Structure 1
Amino acid sequence: MAERPLRIEAAPQRLTLDLTKTAIIVVDMQNDFCHPEGWLGHIGVDVTPARAPIPHLAKLLPALRKADVPVLWLNWGNRPDRLNLPPKLLHVYKPTGIGTGIGDPLPGSGAHVLEDGSWSAAVVDELAPEPGDIHVAKFRMSGFWDTELDSILRNLAVTTLLFAGVNVDQCVLGTLLDASCLGYDCILLEDCSATTSPDYCFAATVYNVKQCFGFVAQSSEFLTEAAAS
């Protein structure tokens, strides 16, 4: 396949990437994390920051699809029986045994928290996936552990990964770190990422990605350069 180079401004330096070897991984833009009636909203977390990437992704993803860049949705979606989860992971989100933890039904909707196939694990309506998109369920902070993500990317002959989603300091960063260790070139899309953590967590993540693990860019760079190419 002929190369399709795209030059973009990024930090710490300008990049030239090959669109034929590029994919975007959108992490956890799902109802439990981004919808006011999802799990985080139910336990009192303000999900407003987690919704910030939605308008940027709504513009970027159609342009990437038009350029034949694979779109991968990496959502937290556990087995209904939760047998693939260690006890410590269940405990940390329900330490007293009281409340709504992983796999429990949400009051109102009855959707099971972070369960594959449930409303809770579905992508928010504003970013409705297209038929050609690829879905991968994850069960840890990193999407590479105990999943088929790496195999899919290898079969797609992808070497460059764009990262977006929430929480940027947790699941996005965890997946990006593993991708970097596996030899992928990683680009964090800053305006397409967010966190409900304190602002310094976002700042530290951006700093460390630029310093050690890859590059940081804005989605507008892709939109501008793709339109001009």
Structure 2
Amino acid sequence: MREKQNNWQRIEAVIMWANMSTNYFARYIGLPRGENLYQIKRGNNGISLDVAERVVAKFPQVDKLWLLTGEGTMFSDDRLRGVQIPFYRHDPEEGMPDLHLLESECGLVLPMVGDCDCAMCYTGRAMGDVIPPGTIVLLQAVDPEAIIPGGEYVIVTRKIVTLRIVRTIEGEEKLRLVAGDREQYDDIIVFNSDIKAVYKVKGKLILNN
């Protein structure tokens, strides 16, 4: 049985669903400073009734009882929830091969993104400013034949799993995987026959905490 989320995990789930930074979220719900939330994160404070009411006033979809106690579900009305994208606190280059064994931490609701299979936190540096470390990438499984050259994909092969810009090699059954930071990272060449799975980057959430 999955353990009940602690105080900060519940606050964090709402922040991520709202697609805000912690400081912006604090200001948005009317707290004088983000420190109020960081005290919850450190475990020094629980979620007060005042904080819960401020959150629910701005986000009426969120269930106040769940926010205060962890009982029930995050949303007071499942019809308002929309399609959830499972979020895994794993780097796609490390967690993707074992995705079927992982348990999602929460669900993200981002209607403007469209269908996605999962969301993960990219911690690598090879993509440079294109996808900075700490970016949450929204991924959709696609057929290797559907790769669009120049797009960003997680490529799972027999030997490596990597997030790169994908380019084709004319006349050859190979792909060139290009880093965002080409000064520091070399291209990777993979055979099409070695590809086990492909995930298209459908969206990126860059959080300024």
The bucket for the TM-score relative to the shorter chain is under 0.3
TM-score (norm 1): 0.24
Is the strand fraction higher in 1 or 2? 2
Q: Which has the higher helix share?
A: 1
Bigger RCO (CA 8 Å, 6+ sep): 1
